[in-house]
Structures are given as structure tokens and as C-alpha cells.
Amino acid sequence: MFINGNWVDAANGATFEITNPATGDVIGECPDGTAADAIRAIDAAHAAQPQWGATTAFSRADLLMEAWRLMGERAEPLAQLMTKEQGKPLKASRNEVAYGADFLRWFAEEARRITGQWLPSSRPDQRFLSVRTPVGVVAAITPWNYPMSMLTRKMGPALAAGCTLVLKPAEATPLCAKAIFECFHDAGIPDGVINLVTTANPEPIGDVFTSDPRVKKLTFTGSTAVGRVLAAKAGANLQRVSVELGGHAPFIVFPDADPEHAAKGATALKFLNSGQACISPNRIYVHRDHADVFIETIVARVANVKAGNGADDGIGVGPLVNEAAVAKVAAQVDDARANGADVPVGGHRLTEHGLDRGHFYAPTVVTGVTSAMTIYREETFGPVAPIILYDHVDEVIDLANDTNYGLAAYVYTRDLSTAIRAMEGLRFGIIGINDVNPTSAAAPFGGMNDSGLGREGGHEGIDEYLETKLAGIAL
């Protein structure tokens, strides 16, 4: 772990093993931290906060730029580590390293844009000055599916704003977190400003994060169920909270769209990271008039997606994170079959050619999906594309909105009016219009309803880590 500028063991000396999800091989071990270690880390962050908060925005920006440079310099070993620990194909890991580094550069620039303003008063002898100040110590909890970019998306704005930070990475991917912290350490981050607590049992760490009064903000990316628990606990102590949670994204192919082009886009997006992405399309709505062409195209493309160890050439889909994830995907597909769906490609666990050592499920297409099926209502988080046919354009937006989630949605159309009306009617925080990658460090990311609170990235991203302070000045 990294506490107060030093690499340290857990206070009790315990460790836990890290395995490669593609092979089951043990690839390392990490300290198995407890509540006591989380308190040590908060001690360090709290002690470092006054001095770090008082540094100039230009100094903080320079440090973030140096960390960005080091991530670029180390891009290939970082990507290799991510593939070994998380499982995604090496090409995807390389893309994530570049995406994660972008957050450091973006928020280095945003640090210099933190400004205040003079405000008018009704009194001639009074002036108001509004300024932005760091919220203080931040507790961050990050997921395993994007184990580097989800760190930098939180660390970048927190550090740019002048906050110190304690981070608990997912228990499945702590080595990726360690590698990112090494970049910051080598960039010259002052002692205590960033702290890393690894653990195989996250609940006690979360309890400390949400109960210690010195922690002024909690930021979490993960499941809606866990996010609700953490937000409730943090709310009891009036901590600021931002949570990026699950999704159940609709992918709407309007009648005027090119169904072949839309099917290619859906395939590229759905099987990214083996479907283990909160913005992955989970309900693909295709107009009945285009169903044959769309299904033929997506089935043919999915049949050619090669699953396997992400370190091997030509792999399009890597392993799922663990056995529980495989079981969940299999249960949803089996339930769909039992309720009348067809599975023209995939629909089974992969065990041949040594894949039985890992957690693999075949890239799958399910057709004839209805609202009676579990997959229609629940996030899959796996390599399964469920296709739902619709008949009337005026009903599809209501169908898409029929969920408690509200993170991402996708629209394929060649009509500008249709695109704008769909964007305005969909109750989701991110909408891709003929675009399967509507994300960027420069753009706000976040959802509505059960998909979370707050935004990461963009101009809004740094606001989550700043307080407004007002001075009333009598002349």
C-alpha cells in the first residue's frame, strides 16, 4: 500500500493473491488492509491537506502533467499489466492507458481555470467576492473493469482542485492501481497527498471512509446496490457524494437508419471489454422492417469475434472477472431461452483450448427478447447482445425509458430531427447519436436515477471537488 509517501504492508501483515482471470494463474499479491490501515491513510491525507490545498494551481498542474508524461512513457508495460490482471485484449488496454492519461492532462489544464468572481451588492459600501476552495480529504473507491482510467478520472480533478486523497481500488485489480501510484510517486507528489489502501474485504474500508469526519467527500464507481449503501452512510455524516453506478443502455435503430451500419456499431460497442462496461448496450431495439438485415449482420460479425487470453493476437473478447460473472450471464441467457428467445450464436461457456482455466463466456446474440425475460430488466455485464423488435417509432422512446437506470443510450438515424427529438426524449445522461464512443476526458460523464449522482470529466468534473466561499466586504 502507499501511505504518507511510503510503500507499506498492512498493519497486521496479511496479504491476498491476485490472479489472471484468463488463466487462473497467481500473478502477485497485495497487502490485505483493514480499517486500521484506512485510518492511517486518512491521517496522512488530513495532515497533508493544508499545505497541498495552499499550493498554486500552476504547481498542481505541473505535477499532473508530469504524471501524464510518465503514463505515456510507460504505456506499454501499463497495458501489459492491465491485460494480465483484468483480462481485456491488449489493444483495449492500450486504449485505456491513453484514455486514462488524458484525464491527467485535461485536469492539469482545468486547475488553472479555477476562478472566482466579484458580485454586485445593493449597498454602495459593500462588495462580494466568491472564490472556489478544495473540499478537503477525498475517499475514492474504483472498479475493476477500467482499473486505470477510473483512477485518473477521480485523482485528476481531486488533485487539480487541491484535495488530498485516499483510494481503495477493486480487490480484483490492485496491481493496476499500484502502477498508477508509482507514476505519481515518480512525478514528485508530496507525502500524504495520495494514499492507496488495498484489501480483499472492502466493507470495513468503506465504513471508515463514510464515518470519519475528516473525509469531506466520497467518490465511488461500481454497482448500484453498493453505491446506495455507501451514499446512505455518507449522507448520515453530510459528506459530499458522487457515485457513478450501473446502466441498462438502450440502443435504438430507427427505420431510416442503415441497419447494416448500425449492426456493426452495436457489435463493436457491445463486446468491448467483454460487455463489462456500465455504458454497454443492454437492450437493442430494432424496427421490425429491418430485423432480418440487422440480425444477419450482427450474427455474422459476432460469430467471428474470437474469445481468449487478451495477451494473444486477434482476441476480441477476454474473460469475465470471475465465476460469479459467468454464472450471472449464463443464467440470463438460459432464462431468455426458457421464455422463448432464440440464440443464433454463442450462448454457452467456453472451455476448449484451455479456456476452462479462466472465466470465459461465448460472444452471444439473443433474439426474440421480451419484457418477460430477466435480461430485459437487469444489467448483464457480459458479452450478450439482446435484440428486441418494435413496430412503431412513437413507442420506442417510451420502451427505452422503461428502466430505473439512466446512464447511456444510443441512437442510429439519418434524420436530424429524429436525432434531436430522441436526444431530448431519452432520460439518460450520455447519448451517442450514430456514435458508439460518446466519452472523452473533455466531456462530462454520469447518469440519472439509479445510475448515479454527479459528473466526471469535462468542466463539471472538477466542480465535484470544490466548495464555494463568499466574502462580504464593507468599504
Q: What is the DSSP letter of 167?
A: E
Q: Are strands 117-119 and 126-134 parallel, antiparallel or unpaired?
A: antiparallel
- Per-residue model confidence (pLDDT) at position 309: 97
For residue 310 the three cell numbers come to 487478451
Alpha-carbon separation of residue 462 from 46, 87, 242, 467 (angstroms): 20, 31, 12, 10
Do residues 198 and 267 share a domain?
A: no
- Per-residue model confidence (pLDDT) at position 348: 97
Do residues 132 and 205 share a domain?
A: yes
> Has residue 119 been placed in a domain?
yes
Do residues 124 and 228 share a domain?
A: yes
Residues 73, 193: contact at Cβ < 8 Å?
A: no
> Has residue 444 been placed in a domain?
no
User: What is d(CA 408, CA 437) in angstroms, rounded to the nearest whole number?
Assistant: 11
3-state class (DSSP) for residue 398? helix
> Has residue 399 been placed in a domain?
yes
Burial of 238 (0-12, 13-18, 19+ CB in 10 A): exposed
- Per-residue model confidence (pLDDT) at position 187: 98
The predicted-structure confidence for 303-320, as pLDDT tens digits, reads as follows 999 999 999 999 999 999
Q: How confident is the model at residue 183 (pLDDT cuts 50, 70, 90)?
A: very high
Average of per-residue pLDDT across 241-254: 97
- Per-residue model confidence (pLDDT) at position 146: 98
Phi and psi torsions of 18, nearest 5°: -115, 130
The residues facing 183 across adjacent strands are none
- Per-residue model confidence (pLDDT) at position 44: 98
Do residues 369 and 268 share a domain?
A: yes
Q: What is the CA radius of gyration of the chain?
A: 23
Residues 293, 327: contact at Cβ < 8 Å?
A: no
> Has residue 443 been placed in a domain?
no
Q: How confident is the model at residue 222 (pLDDT cuts 50, 70, 90)?
A: very high
Do residues 175 and 45 share a domain?
A: yes
- Whole-model pTM: value is 0.96
Q: How confident is the model at residue 16 (pLDDT cuts 50, 70, 90)?
A: very high
- Per-residue model confidence (pLDDT) at position 87: 97
User: What is d(CA 217, CA 234) in angstroms, rounded to the nearest whole number?
Assistant: 8
Quick one: CA dihedral 382, 384, 385, 390, positive or negative?
A: negative
For residue 22 the three cell numbers come to 484468463
3-state class (DSSP) for residue 382? coil
Q: In terms of DSSP H, where are the helices of 74-189?
A: 75-86, 90-111, 149-161, 174-187
The predicted-structure confidence for 117-159, as pLDDT tens digits, reads as follows 999 999 999 999 999 999 999 999 999 999 999 999 999 999 9
User: The CATH number of the domain where 352 resides is what?
Assistant: 3.40.309.10
- Per-residue model confidence (pLDDT) at position 56: 97
Question: Catalytic residue positions?
Answer: 244, 278
Domain carrying residue 376: 249-404+408-433
- C-alpha dihedral (87, 89, 90, 92), degrees to nearest 10: -110
Q: What is the mean pLDDT of the chain?
A: 97
Burial of 159 (0-12, 13-18, 19+ CB in 10 A): buried
* Percentage of the residues of the chain whose pLDDT score is greater than 70: 100
User: What is d(CA 434, CA 422) in angstroms, rounded to the nearest whole number?
Assistant: 12
Task: Indicate the number of domains in the chain.
Answer: 2
User: The CATH number of the domain where 462 resides is what?
Assistant: 3.40.605.10
Indicate the angle between helix axes 75-86 and 90-111, nearest 10 degrees: 120
The residues facing 243 across adjacent strands are 220, 453
Do residues 132 and 156 share a domain?
A: yes
Residues 360, 305: contact at Cβ < 8 Å?
A: no
- Per-residue model confidence (pLDDT) at position 448: 96
Q: Are strands 6-7 and 2-3 parallel, antiparallel or unpaired?
A: antiparallel
Average of per-residue pLDDT across 214-243: 96
- Per-residue model confidence (pLDDT) at position 107: 98
Do residues 386 and 463 share a domain?
A: no
Q: How confident is the model at residue 355 (pLDDT cuts 50, 70, 90)?
A: very high
The predicted-structure confidence for 386-426, as pLDDT tens digits, reads as follows 999 999 999 999 999 999 999 999 999 999 999 999 999 99
